[in-house]
Amino acid sequence: MGDFMAKEVIKLIDIEMSFADKTLFHTDKLIGHIGEVIGIVGNNGVGKTTLLNIICGNTKSTKGRIICDVLCKKFDQNWFSNNDYTNLNNSAGEQQRDFLYKMLCTKQGCLLLDEPTNFMDIQTRENLIKTIKSYKNGIIIIASHDRYFLKNVVTKIWDIENKEIREYIGTYEDYEKQKELHLLKQQYEKEEYIREKKHLETIILNNKEQRLRLEKNKNTKSFEKPSRLAATKDKSTAVKRIDRTIKNVEKRLESLGEINDIPIVQTIHFPEGNFRELHNKYPIRAELLNLYYEDKQLLKDVSFQFANKLKIAITGKNGSGKSTLIKNILDNHPNIILSKMVKFSVFKQFHFEVSSTKNLINYLQEDSNFSRQDIINLLREIGIDASLLNVPINKLSGGQKTRIELLKVFIKDANVVILDEPTNSLDMISIRALEVLIKNYPGLVIFVSHDMEFVKNCADEIYTIENKTLKRYK
């Protein structure tokens, strides 16, 4: 933005959004300037899309006002039905790309982009990044979970968490550092809250026990001796004093309120002895593999060998054959040699949309050799509280369902996990949980992804489909 103060074009003042009696989010003040690229981040369901709709005027906030001095245009995954823009000669992905570029070519006004990189291949994403960087005379506001994309374009972050929109100035890396400090502060406050709450509860309990002893002694017959009458009076005074103490401490306890859990996924420990061992060094191999989609050849005379226990990423342009290769591995194509001991566990796009009425623990124990306690330990490590163990799956939040379904894939009676575009529609917490699951899984993991940050964090080897070949990178 240079050394001058860029023009303010969007102001959100005292904004609150509620549905029925439930507050979705609120903010005192947010300002957007010409030349900024603002990233809106937060877990699924916190209101990112709703905030975009409020800014562009599609949704009215419950409270507050918006001042917008520029024309707003919005792109989301429903753009096909909202715009008269179809070209039968291009794929949906190509039309999505062309429509985005057409919006960006205006180079002015406010562009609101909702998950614009979903289903984009790597090259298309890189081209979009370059185009956004050249958008200097307007403002772009993006809701996204794509960390690589955000790292390359944003100048500011609006983070929606615990019903509050918090602003972080700077790049996405700056946001991550500031966020980490904020989480450490929250963790310290949480620990202080737990200590203080326990301390106050102990005071209340001790005083109540003392009160019961005094009441019991007070009711003992005194035979009306003067000394005992005086003692009884003293006990009554003591009981009243204790009641006042209990009441005051209960007020202090009530004033503490509640503090939100801080879901931080750091590591996961898979218990030993629950996996089918693969003794073949290369449990999946291919020799002179040729693959086609209808009349189009995708792979030509390709040979490869996937080593046991590695984490292998398969990348490439849309339509290059990534999902077709995965399908043929699962179908045991004649030119693909599988070890006899291979047993697959598969996660597909939108696989987590479950409606089971079984409780969480029973649902996870299906097709799994893991004990109840092992599953409880793993749930805790991916940020799922033990209080939810007996809650039906269909009553959980979307983010909780996602992490549970991801965990289910990794605890099945299997030794090779296959993931096809697993990060699409996942929020940040679920993506981080998935990364930890992949890195700590004791078997072989093969995953297809366009999310380069995810690939970088998880892959031991990267295979790219290009010009009908499969190239390996370490």
Phi and psi, residue 150, nearest 5°? -60, -40
- This prediction has a pTM of 0.74
Measured distance CA(98)–CA(131) in Å, rounded: 12
d(CA 333, CA 4): 62
139 contacts 119 by C-beta, under 8 angstroms: no
DSSP letters, 82-127, are HS----TTS-HHHHHHHHHHHHHTT-EEEEEEESTTTT--HHHHHH
Tell me the pLDDT tens digit for each residue of 401-435: 888 888 999 999 999 999 998 888 788 888 888 99
For 348-383, the pLDDT digits (tens) are: 755 545 667 888 888 998 888 888 888 888 888 887
CA 28 to mean position of chain CA atoms:
25
Pairing between β-strand 108-114 and β-strand 137-143 as defined by DSSP bridges? parallel
Alpha-carbon distance 278 to 276, whole Å? 7
pLDDT of residue 232: 58
The C-alpha angle 370, 341, 378, rounded to 5 degrees, equals 20
266 token code pair: 């750091």
Which single residue is written with the structure tokens 């992490």?
A: 403
Three-class SS state of 195: helix
**Which DSSP state fits 292?**
E
Give the pLDDT confidence score for residue 349 in this predicted structure: 59
> What are the residue ranges in the chain where pLDDT is below 70?
1-5, 77-96, 218-235, 256-267, 273, 349-355
CA distance 396 to 170: 35
At a CB cut-off of 8 Å and minimum separation 6, what does 222 contact? 228, 229, 231, 232
